[in-house]
Amino acid sequence: MPLVRIDLSEEAAETLGQDIGELVYQAMVDVINVPRDDKFQIITWHGWHQLVHPEKYLGIEYSPGIVFIQITLNQGRSVEMKKAFYRRVADDLHSKLGVRLQDIVINLVEVPKENWSFGNGEMQYA
């Protein structure tokens, strides 16, 4: 179960968060083998003072349109799968939604399967 958190500016278009969520979900299914219907997302809009970032980091210049995508997911994907996933998400957000490539920050947080409960106070994956 990936848990996707998408954080973006309140200045963004009203549908941008859901559109990003759909593209991220499709990339997870296609590239990193997430099962269909395994879609849990939290989308949050923030004021300019709540999205704190440098103007430039590692040679990348950011704009007020920065988008943070953090995904907590089970351990086990290869570096190559992760690279392909980052590329797919960035390319899709840029080509389909007009998000600047430089403004797409993705963070994967890998956890053991026993760190999930899908409800009922149970550890379904253990």
Q: Which residue has the tokens 């099962």?
A: 35
123: amino acid identity, one letter: M
Catalytic-residue membership of 35 = no
Backbone angles phi, psi at 46, to 5 degrees: -130, 150
Catalytic hit among 2, 35, 64, 112 = 2
Helices (H) and strands (E) in the chain, counts: 2, 6
Residue 97 burial (CB count, 10 A): 16
**Concatenated DSSP letters for 6-24?**
EEEETTS-TTHHHHHHHHH
Question: Containing H/E element for 25?
Answer: helix 16-31
* Measured distance CA(50)–CA(94) in Å, rounded: 23
Catalytic residues: 2
